[in-house]
Amino acid sequence: MAYRWPVGTTFKRIALAVEDRSCPVCDRSMHVCDHRYHALWTFEGPTQVVNRLVRCPDPSCQSRGRTFSPEAELSISMPRWCIGWDVLCWLGHRRFARHWSVPQLRLALKDTHQIALSDDAIEHYIGLYQTMLAACQQAPDRLADAYRDIASLVLTIDGLQPEKGHETLYVVRELMSKRVWFAEPLLSSATQEVQRLIVLARQWADRLAKPVRGWMSDKQDAFVTAIATEFPGIPHRYCQNHFLRDVAKPVLAIDSHAKGTMRRKVRGLRAIERGVLEERRQATAPEPTPPHETAKADAAPLSELPAAAAPVPCASSDVGVVRMDSSLEVTGVAAAGEPGVEDEAGEVVLGYCAAVRGILNDSLGGPLHPPGVRMSEALQDVRDSLERNLQAQKGGVERRC
Ligand SMILES: [Zn+2]
């Protein structure tokens, strides 16, 4: 990739020479015939590698016309790259291990290392990094190494669709060493297309010389047919995850219905909160203002709530659902006449409202922890908490929250 260096750039020079100067054919000492200059970015700044090229001086030697480059060149960078290995590794690691975006990488290179690269250049090098990483992961000798202590293989295949409307990425994984073997985007899930991947998997297994103990997939027809053809007699199991998901569908439908029913039952949070705020406004209003009759009647029961001895920490939070018992528990008994009592009671009511709203809006949880079941449990916790507060107050008062 061509790189335009700013005028006046000062380079750190590294001169490299061929290690063994004797001709590999006739053993004569080779002569320096040319120099190749390679300018690139390393973390030590702009660097110029000067390669001394050599060739055999004997016109009759078979190596005639061949030039030899210093071996050390490749330990700094690859030919025609404008960055060294150090910068390439830095880019790849930040991009894939830390999920930095390309503009973020560009700015960090510029600010921290004074290396000016365009987004295009960074994307190009990230592409090269990925290619190398994939080649490294799939290298037969490395694979053989990883499977040295594994007696047999369990393979899986699944189609992933990162974005709707795009081609599906088919991934073949091996479960004993938890390795992705390879992945290929296929436009269709036709048996022929899929079969090609299964054949490839068989070639990999053959190369490792390990028996395949079983296959696992979501058992779509193309997989079943292709695996039965290429791996006759090998068990093919339904993937647990897919199985569970299919079983869970009716469960989640029922759960969703139950959630709707509970939501309809727990209503009027806003009216309660408005009552508290209205009451507070009146309490802080100047003396002569007469209290509004209807608002007074509406908020009356709230002012008689037991007051919290301590401020309620999660009053304004709607995510504190799990801490509800400890944070919302009201242990104190109303001390009539003390300043701020009514306000504290209001805080408690608002706290309960926030907690209940959080519970109603919480829709997290998969089939093993259905959101409706969690909602029901959380609402029961609120009910228990209210009950305890009523017990704590002698001659308990009806509560509306
Ligand atoms: Zn020679």
The pLDDT tens digits for 34-60 are 999 999 999 999 999 999 999 999 989
Angle at 102 between CA 97 and CA 104, to 5 degrees: 85
Q: From the CA of 49, how far away is ligand 1's center (Å)?
A: 26
Q: From the CA of 22, how far away is ligand 1's center (Å)?
A: 8
Task: Say how far apart CA 157 and CA 174 lie, in whole Å.
Answer: 9
Residues 101-117 have a mean pLDDT of: 95
Q: What tokens appear for 99 in the block?
A: 């999920």
Residues 341-364 have a mean pLDDT of: 82
Q: From the CA of 57, how far away is ligand 1's center (Å)?
A: 7
Question: Whole-structure pTM over 0.95, yes or no?
Answer: no
Q: What is the mean pLDDT of the chain?
A: 82
Residues 348-377 have a mean pLDDT of: 84
Predicted pLDDT of residue 188: 78
Q: From the CA of 76, how far away is ligand 1's center (Å)?
A: 28
**End-to-end distance of the chain based on CA atoms, in angstroms?**
69
Residues 344-359 have a mean pLDDT of: 86
Residues 156-170 have a mean pLDDT of: 84
The pLDDT tens digits for 307-336 are 433 344 443 334 434 444 444 444 444 334
Contacts of 195 (CB under 8 A, 6+ apart): 222, 225, 226, 229, 230
pLDDT at 367 over 90: no
DSSP state, residue 165 = T
Q: From the CA of 73, how far away is ligand 1's center (Å)?
A: 23
pLDDT at 356 over 50: yes
Residues 370-396 have a mean pLDDT of: 84
Neighbours of ion ligand 1 (CB under 5 A): 23, 25-26, 56, 58, 61, 63
Q: From the CA of 86, how far away is ligand 1's center (Å)?
A: 36
The pLDDT tens digits for 246-305 are 888 888 888 888 888 888 888 888 888 888 888 888 877 665 544 444 444 444 344 344
Q: From the CA of 79, how far away is ligand 1's center (Å)?
A: 25
Q: From the CA of 154, how far away is ligand 1's center (Å)?
A: 54
Predicted pLDDT of residue 211: 93
Q: Is 101 in contact with 119 (CB distance < 8 Å)? A: no
Q: From the CA of 59, how far away is ligand 1's center (Å)?
A: 8
Task: Say how far apart CA 14 and CA 5 lie, in whole Å.
Answer: 18
